[in-house]
Amino acid sequence: MSDQSEPLGTIGVVGAGAMGAGIAQSALTAGLEVILHDSSAAALAKARGEIHSRIARLAEKGQITTAAAAAAEGRLKLAERLQELAPAQIVIEAIIEQLEPKQRLFTALEDIVPAGTVLATNTSSLPVAAIARPCRHRERVCGLHFFNPVPLMRLVEVIRAADTSEATMRRVLELAERLGKTAVRVKDVPGFLVNLLGRAYLTEALHIQQEGVASAATIDRIMREAAGFRMGPFELMDLTGIDVNFPATRVVYEGFQHDPRLKTTALHESLFLAGQLGRKTGRGFHDYGDGKAASAASDGGDPGEAPVTGAPVTVWIAEEARELGWVSERGLRLVAAGEAEVMLVSPAPGEDAATAAARLRLDPARVVAADWVGLERSFLTLMAPVGGDGAARKLGAALRGTGLSVAVIGDSPGFVAARILAMIVNLACEAAQLGIGTPEDIDVAMRLAQNYPRGPFEWGEWLGAQRIHDMLRRIQEVTGSDRYRPSLWLRRRALLSLPLRTPQ
């Protein structure tokens, strides 16, 4: 009988695919015995070869000794029969992402493993409670969601379903620590934590594109160069595969009762239905030709990059733009009194250029709005009201001459980077409000699993809770969409001038 008070020594892994093999490798190099099961002997043989090869490379790089590598390889046992998992203290399921096969597996395991053995699912989207529902002892079932590639990714989500016991949680947290992973406790909700919060980065970019504000390439460029993300949202969707991110988005949207903040766009679904799935098919939001990254994905593809010839542009700077400080800091010396070709303004948070021009009673044909979010990276985004894009492009060309990187977009409430970041922060605040994760765990999870340059709450403190709250309220007013309603967590802290991490 497996006793949860005993030190961990043996785990079982069901499924010899990429995830199962990765989990097995991590456990082997952590000194655990691993029983790897798959119904396919060929899959088991392939997994063993890949595991041994990767462990050997660790020894070649000096990350482990040759003796440690040989010992790790010797701790792997292949099992073609499910009954061979009986000695395992924890069994981790990593099979096909479908509910019924997982339910059948767990009910079969209950007749094989001792009462104290923990049954963990590596599901990324299915409710853990649904998987556990047919089980007799649901208290020992939990989620243990690893990220691919498992040996390299430090984060693991530990999901507690309605019936999961605290003893079960302690046992899997012990395993996570043994594997050298950073574990975050998460509620059993659609998408858990990382896949839920990752929707904001992707779906807001999709909505900005759908509005005709900017191309996928320009949005990608802004998020890389202005906000410091490793990949733009459309590059990321093409890399993971639209056959992966569209269904995941739909599951999360439906699971949260069609909350508009989680809604995707018609183009996203259209590419999925057309089989244009990204890099794997050679075409998605970008065209990859022979498998190489499209030039548009890397060069911005922004018509505003075209040089503008003629006399230097003269600029009138609205006082509120001057007060931001970035004008003088960036060496802009293109200011003239009297008649000016361009009127440079800084919209209120969440305002579009049309609204700013009307509020300031300026000629919309000569108004250009500037976004400060990319300032620390010497990046500016410019936009103009309808009919004013010529002024924006001319100013953009002049600013590039001062050494700035510039993107010119169509009119948008909240520009691009600030708008996407506000949605990231807002969804993170909603997750904290619902108790899905703590602000600290949310920041850690998104930095480790999604390579965010800042965690959502770190972004929130950097941008300012009041500014984000005002931005979302104005975007909601401009668009009429409940997609932009501020989270109660955000609203209360903004109203009281409290840090966003202030607990309930």
* Tens digit of each residue's pLDDT (9 = 90 or more) over 455-464: 999 999 999 9
Domain assignment of residue 139, yes or no: yes
Identity of the highest mean pLDDT range in 115-119, 289-293, 329-333:
115-119
CA-based radius of gyration for the chain: 26
- The CATH number of the domain where 344 resides is what? 3.30.750
Q: Does the pLDDT value for residue 445 go beyond 70? A: yes
Residue 371 or 85, more confident: 85
Q: What is the pTM of this model?
A: 0.89
pLDDT(344) > 90: no
Residues 6+ apart with CB under 8 A from 10: 32, 33, 34, 35, 87, 88, 89
Do the domain assignments include residue 203?
A: no
151 within some domain:
yes
pLDDT at 401: 77
Q: Name the domain boundary from 409, 432, 465.
A: 409
Domain of residue 351: give its range: 304-409
Task: Please determine, for residue 302, whether its predicted confidence score (pLDDT) is greater than 70.
Answer: no
User: Considering the chain, what is the average pLDDT of its residues?
Assistant: 90
- Select the more confidently predicted residue: 375 or 493: 493
Residue 87, pLDDT score: 97
- Of the given ranges (294-298, 331-335, 469-473, 485-489), which has the lowest mean pLDDT? 331-335
- Check 37, 145, 268, 469 and give the catalytic one: 145
Domain assignment of residue 16, yes or no = yes
Picking from 187, 221, 250, the residue at the C-terminal end of a domain is 187
Q: Would you call 152 exposed, middle or buried from its count of C-beta atoms within 10 A (0-12, 13-18, 19+)?
A: exposed
Helix axes 41-60, 66-74, angle to 10 degrees: 170
Is residue 97 domain-resident?
yes
CATH number of the domain at 139, please.
3.40.50.720
User: Is 501 contained in some domain?
Assistant: no
Question: Is 295 tagged catalytic?
Answer: no
CA-to-CA distance for 70 and 67, rounded, in angstroms?
A: 5
Mark whether 17 and 147 lie in a shared domain: yes
The answer to whether residue 195 is catalytic is yes
Domain boundary (141, 171, 187) is at 187
124 annotated active-site: yes
- pLDDT tens profile 138-185: 999 999 999 999 999 999 999 999 999 999 999 999 999 999 999 999
Which helix (H) or strand (E) covers residue 249, if one does? Answer: helix 242-255
Please tell me whether the peptide bond between 149 and the residue prior to it is cis, using omega within 30 degrees of 0. Answer: yes
**Which residue out of 33, 157, 225, 458 is catalytically annotated?**
157
Which residue, among 239, 180, 169, has the nearest Cα to 25 in the 3D structure?
180
169 and 317 inside one domain = no
Q: Does the annotation count 157 as an active-site position?
A: yes
Q: Label residue 313 by pLDDT band (50, 70, 90).
A: low
Tell whether 52 is covered by a domain. yes
Among 195, 215, 405, 426, the active-site one is 195
Average pLDDT, integer, range 58-81:
96
Contact criterion met (CB below 8 Å) for 72 and 59:
no
Residue 182 and residue 310 in one domain: no
Q: Is residue 66 assigned to a domain? A: yes
Convert the pLDDT of each residue in 355-411 to its tens digit: 999 988 888 998 899 998 898 898 999 999 998 888 888 888 888 877 789 999 999
| Per-residue confidence (pLDDT) for residue 324, from 0 to 100 | 47
Note whether 176 and 36 are same-domain residues: yes
Mean pLDDT to the nearest integer, 445-458: 97
Q: Does residue 183 sit in the same domain as residue 309? A: no
Average pLDDT of span 11-33 = 97
DSSP 178-231: HTTPEEEEEES-TTTTHHHHHHHHHHHHHHHHHTTSS-HHHHHHHHHHTT--SS
| The total number of structural domains that make up the chain | 2
Of 124, 125, 245, 405, the catalytic one is: 124
